[in-house]
Amino acid sequence: MSLIPEIKLTDSVENEDFNYERVFNKCFINLDEEVKPPPTALGIGYSDYKGNSYLNNTFSYGEFSCIVAASKSKKTFFKSALIASYIGGNSNNHFPSIETTRDQDYYVVDIDTEQGEYYAQRAFRRVADMIGGNYKNYMPFGVEGLDAEDIVRFIDGLLKDPRFKGKIKWMSIDGIADLLDNANDIEKSNAVASKLKKWRKDNAMHINVVIHKNSTSNKATGHLGSAIQKKSETVILLEDTDENVDVRNSPIKVSQIYSRGAPFDAFYFDLDESTALPKEIDFSETQKEW
């Protein structure tokens, strides 16, 4: 039963496009009801609470997150690692601290906006290599040839496709800046962030996006970066451990610079010499030999 009596509305707050009473009842939060936290899709590390240990709610269903990194800092490798970890298989051999809760054969969508077909396929195959085989419901798409509006239309269509509607639970967008023409356009940046909110909420899925880092700070670039960081459940920063920008084979530090839940401890990964796959490693800044 509602705690608030019904209100007789006047024409000034009621019209064909806006139903005040419906919005009022939908948005009112009853403090006497127990609201459950969003279910975890993927967690990194554990935290102790009241004597018990819990998987960190790093990536929740119904939320979105972002990876912030400079160019050539292995961000696509880490994106692949998150996807592989969510699917499962042998991925825990590569990243033991990342744990999935996936309990059904959900669809997993991997969208690459930046690379051509050859390099995009190499990145997509990396997921299969990490899990130890092809996951039948993994759907990779290279959309480098589409303009910004068509990429948005494609994602809209994919989520409404009756074959997949409600069954996609993880989506990665590597190159979120390509969903608009100008990352410094405030109106369009907010529109893209709003799209992410709508997609993840309407589909009870998690969306992970990749965006470039500002050259002078650890913030994501442009108004788009600001809009996405403000609305993200988790913001992850990738940093090269070698200050020499010409060195591209050094370990990468993974840290959580923003989180609504319990944060994970920073860790490191590098590329395995024998497989060229990303792998979590034991490393600290004091161990650098170069």
Give pLDDT, residue 51. Answer: 83
Would residue 10 count as lying in a domain?
no
Summarize pLDDT for 30-43 with one digit per residue, the tens.
999 888 888 999 99
Does the residue 264 lie in any domain?
yes
Question: Is residue 12 domain-resident?
Answer: no
Report the candidate in 238, 246, 248, 190 with the shortest Cα–Cα distance to residue 212: 238
Tokens of 224: 């788009």
CATH number at residue 122: 3.40.50.300
Note every long-range contact of 229-233, with CB atoms under 8 Å and residues 24 or more positions apart, other chains counting: 229/66, 229/68, 229/258, 230/193, 231/64, 231/193, 231/196, 231/197, 232/63, 232/64, 232/65, 232/66, 232/258, 233/59, 233/60, 233/63, 233/64, 233/65, 233/259, 233/260, 233/261
Q: Is residue 29 part of a domain?
A: no
Nearest to 191 by CA among 205, 203, 176: 176
SS3 223: helix
Residue with tokens 């064909």: 16
Look up the pTM and report it.
0.88
Query: What's the mean per-residue pLDDT of the chain?
Result: 89
Let me know if residue 278 belongs to a domain.
Answer: yes
3 lies in a domain? no
Q: How far apart are CA 132 and CA 269, in angstroms?
A: 19
pLDDT of 289 above 70 = no
Domain assignment present for 172: yes
Q: Give the integer Cα–Cα distance in Å for 88 and 98.
A: 10
**Mean local confidence (pLDDT), 163-186:** 94
Domain span holding position 158: 40-50+52-287
Tally of domains within the chain: 1
Q: For the segment 268-286, what is each residue's pLDDT rounded down to a tens digit?
A: 999 998 999 999 999 865 4
Provide the pLDDT confidence category of residue 48 given band limits of 50, 70 and 90: confident
Q: Provide the pLDDT for residue 76.
A: 95
Backbone angle region of 62, left / alpha / beta, with phi > 0 → left and psi within -120 to 50 → alpha: left
Ramachandran quadrant class, 170 (left: phi over 0; alpha: psi -120 to 50; beta: rest): beta
What local confidence, expressed as pLDDT, does residue 9 receive?
Answer: 47
Nearest 5 degrees, angle CA 234-CA 192-CA 138?
65
Phi/psi at 146 (nearest 5 deg)?
-90, 150
Instruction: Provide the 10 A C-beta neighbour count for residue 222.
Output: 20
CA 2/CA 22 separation, integer angstroms = 13
Angle at 171 between CA 66 and CA 73, to 5 degrees: 40
Written as six digits, the tokens of 217 are 């700070």
* DSSP per-residue codes, 98-127: EEE---S--EEEEEESSS-HHHHHHHHHHH
Looking at the domain assignment, is residue 32 inside a domain?
A: no
